[in-house]
Homo-oligomer: A and B are copies of this chain.
Amino acid sequence: MAGDGLASLERLKAALQKLPGIGARSAERLAFHVLRESRESAEMLAAALLAVKDNVRHCSQCFNLTEADPCVICASGTRDAGELWVVEQPKDLMALEATGMVRGVYHVLMGHIAPLEGVEPGDLTIDALISRVKRGGVREVVLATNPTVEGDGTALYIQSALADLGVSVTRPARGLAVGSPLEYASAAMLEAAIRGRVKM
């Protein structure tokens, strides 16, 4: 293909292949799709790519992704600022937010502590979280990090950092995945469900 005078097509395929989950075949299929479609569609996608880089930033208060600062959740007058949900990533925030059940506000850590990968507490937004709690007004901190080794480690670290600040520290319940048969539950999931069994 290199010598067939289609350098633009090759460059587009190469750029598409850098995206996650896009292999050589998918990149070719996508490139041919772009070739078939109007220039307007290509312009719309190109502009959307750059607009995201230019417009989306992190909220200076909670570190959620936002175009306005503070973000709409932090700026909202109807959210309970005393209930602070701590998550690892903006995606986790969106998943919680999609339930419509969180009345509080958020704090996005931007990752989890992982010394083997070189991620130390100082690389996350933990200092900002502690300052935020120290400024007052926070009643409960819900550590909604992922139920993984790294997520649990990060939650433990934050729990001890918050120990003397007079706030209630909680975490979401763990157990069987609702709607998923018991036989498919992992050992860890079953263990959490058995340890945490409650009166009916």
Tell me whether A135 is interfacial, beta carbon within 8 Å: no
- What band does the interface of chain A fall in when counting residues whose beta carbon is under 8 Å from B? 35 or more
Q: How far is the CA of A21 from the CA of B16 in the complex (A)?
A: 14
Task: From known contacts A43-B50, A48-B15, infer whether A20 and B9 are also in contact, taking CB-CB under 8 Å.
Answer: no
Q: Could you say which of B19, B31, B52 contacts A35, with CB atoms under 8 Å apart?
A: B52
Among A65-73, A121-129, A141-149, the stretch in contact with B:
A65-73
Q: How far is the CA of A35 from the CA of B64 in the complex (A)?
A: 13
Give chain B nearest CB distance to A36 CB in angstroms: 10
Tell me whether A39 is interfacial, beta carbon within 8 Å: yes
Q: A53 touching B42 by the CB < 8 A rule? A: yes
What is A's interface to B at a CB cutoff of 8 Å? 1, 3-9, 11-12, 14-16, 18-21, 26, 29-35, 39, 41-56, 65-68, 71-73, 90-91, 94, 97
